[in-house]
Structure formats: structure tokens, C-alpha cells
Amino acid sequence: MAFSDDTRQELARVIPNARCCRLAELSAFYEMSGFLLGRQNQVLDFNTSWPYVARKILIMLKGLYPNLPTQVLVVKSRSRRSQICTVRVLGRQHAGQVYQDLKDQSVLDGSDVPRKRCCRRAYLRGAFLSGGSITNPERTYHLEISTEQSRVAGKILATIAALDLEAGLTERKGSLVVYMKDGGQIASLLGLMGAHSALLHFENVRIMKEMRNQVNRLVNCETANVDKTVRAALAQLEDIELIDAVIGLEELPPKLREVARLRREHPYASLQELGEMMKPKLSKSGVNYRLRQIREKARQLDKLHSNS
């Protein structure tokens, strides 16, 4: 998970300047893991498992509302292996104001997707910081954002589509998971969210993997060609030995006798190489034609020998 953690920490350092983008990103945090609490809605909470994400939430809130009364709470599990960091907005009036700003429908298009492209990028950044992960590209290409809310999953999926990217949706252990498995699509999303260092590493790994795959394909292709050449050469040598044993190579026409002699002397040479050795030189197709004539002669002799 090191690559996923590095990506999350990088995105946590991205603080948008525009008010609309800060609200879009905060709305993702709230929709993923936020609550309006109290009998009179006197507190509004943003919850996260990562302290550096909580710090980012607090910075953005203070940037939007300089005098906003807030509180940061950290609750650790008994095993101390996990924790919940809560950034809390205090007071009914303040909590209500933040809540209303986050729910402002004027910044959305008709499909619940942020209207502006910059806000779509900010929203997905907040969604990833809240419930996202990305696999180390050296293993496989996989990015996902998980939520228990179907409306939020649909909004994330629609926002990705609004940025001309493709993602899928599946269910896993009671949660809805928006996922991407295409390396190019994941790279584009990393860039859009602002994870430029992660994008650079991702692309470097992707290029190296593609180069290795290309080299492997070339090696496999070359190996297959060599195997094919060797098998063909062995078959040609068998034909030549059969002719020599039955009637002798001297009975062949001079052109066929020359090819037979060169194949014997150079059993693993390619057709092109055999053609270069002939006098005058012969094309690859010309050599192949003469070897086919030798093969036909060998079949005729083999048939006669079998019937006698």
C-alpha cells in the first residue's frame, strides 16, 4: 500500500485556491464520511482515518470561514492499529452555514455533477482521499473509490464520466466500489486530481512494463521463427538424404543439386542466407521453390520405395 499512501499524502497537500473548488472537495468529504449531528444540528463532522487528511480539511475550512469555531478529535481503537480523526464545526449557525454551502445546488448540473471542470477534479480528489486506493503499478493497474452510499457512488461515477474517463461499478462486502483498471485512464485521473509525482512514477513503471512486454513479444516471435526455420531445415535434410540414398544427388538437375549441397553444408542457414551463397545469387522465394521441388522428388521416391 506504499504507493497508495504516497498518492494520498500528495493529494492531501493540494489546497485549491478557488472557493468553488474548496467547497466541491469538502462536499466529497462530507458525502463520503460526514455527519450533521445534535438535536438542533449544532455540530458538523468530517471523519477520516488519516491525520494529514484531517489537517487539509481544517485548512480548507479555515480558508473559507476564518472565524469558524472548530475542534479536532482523535479516537483510537483499543488495539491502536486504527484511528478516526474528526474535524468538527461547532455551533448550530456555523454548522448550518457550512452545510448549506456544501449542498448548494447552483454549483451542480442537472445530473448532480459539479458544473465546472475544476470542481469535478476537486470533488474526485476529495472522494479519493476519503475512500480511495490505488495499487502499485508494478503489480497491476487498479484504482478504486469505495462508499456505502449508492447515490454517492453514482455521483463519483458520473463525475468521472464528465471528465471523459471510464470507470466501472461493483459491489464488495456491502460497499459499492467505483474502479478503474486501464493504465491510461488511471494516469489521466491522477493528473486531473493533481497527483503529479504519483503520475510520473505510474507512467515510468507503465513505460517500463510495456517495453518489457514488447521485448518479450519480439523474443518469442524470434524464437518461433528460429524453431520454424530449424524444423524446416531438418525436413529438407531428410528429403536430401532420402534422394541420396535411393538414386544419388548426382541424378538431380544442377540447380537442385546445388541447393541440396548448400543445405547439407549449412543445415541451419535461412533461405535468404542460402540464396546469398548461390552463384548467381538467388532470391528467398527462388530457394524455397527449388527446395519444394526436392521435397516433391523425395516424396515420389519414398512412394515408389514403399510400393516395391
What DSSP designation does 75 have? E
Contact 250, 240 (CB under 8 A): no
Residue pointed to by grid coordinates 473548488:
21
Peptide bond connecting 280 to the previous residue in cis, omega within 30 degrees of 0 = yes
Q: Are 120 and 45 in contact (CB under 8 A)?
A: no
**The domain that contains 159 carries what CATH number?**
3.10.28.10
Instruction: List strand residue ranges (DSSP E) for 70-112, in order.
Output: 70-76, 83-90
Domain that holds residue 122: 2-194
Q: What is the pLDDT of residue 257?
A: 86
pLDDT of residue 239: 85
The answer to whether residues 234 and 120 belong to one domain is no
User: Given this model, what pLDDT does residue 260 score?
Assistant: 87
Residue-level pLDDT at 103? 85
- Give the CA dihedral 179, 47, 99, 165, nearest 10 degrees: -10
pLDDT in the model for residue 270: 83
Residue 160 and residue 234 in one domain = no
Task: Tell me: do 123 and 253 sit in the same domain.
Answer: no
Which pLDDT score is estimated for 79? Answer: 61
Cβ atoms of 159 and 122 closer than 8 Å: no
Query: Which is nearest to 179 in space by CA: 153, 144, 135, 154?
Result: 144
Instruction: Let me know if residue 180 belongs to a domain.
Output: yes
Domain stops at, among 161, 194, 227: 194
Q: What is the pLDDT of residues 141-171, one digit of tens each?
A: 999 999 999 999 999 999 999 999 999 999 9
Buried b (16+ CB within 10 A) or exposed e, 139-162: eebbbbbbbeeeebbbbbbebbeb
| Residue 186 resides in a domain | yes
Question: At 20, which amino acid appears?
Answer: C
Write out pLDDT tens, residues 50-106. Answer: 999 999 999 999 999 999 999 999 888 666 677 899 999 998 899 999 999 988 866
Residue 39 confidence (pLDDT) above 80: no
Residue 214: predicted pLDDT = 80
pLDDT band at 207 (very low <50, low <70, confident <90, very high): confident
| Residue 201 belongs to a domain | no
Rounded CA-CA distance 14/106 in Å is 25
Scanning 247-283, the segments in alpha helix (DSSP H) are 254-265, 271-277
This prediction's pTM: 0.70
| 233 and 120, same domain (yes or no) | no
34-37, strands of its sheet edge to edge: 34-37, 43-48, 83-90, 70-76
Q: How far apart are the C-alpha atoms of 45 and 34, rounded to whole Å? A: 5
In angstroms, the CA 261 to CA 264 distance is 5
Mean pLDDT across the chain, nearest whole number?
88
> How confident is the model at residue 87, as a pLDDT?
93
Whether residue 144 is found in the same domain as residue 67: yes
Residue 171 lies in a domain: yes
239/109 same-domain check? no
Instruction: Specify the number of domains making up the chain.
Output: 2
For residues 145 and 270, membership in a common domain is answered with no
Considering the domain boundaries, does residue 241 fall inside one? yes
Alpha-carbon separation of residue 181 from 10, 120, 176, 263 (angstroms): 21, 20, 16, 52
Here the cell at position 284 is 528467398
168 and 277 both lie in a single domain: no
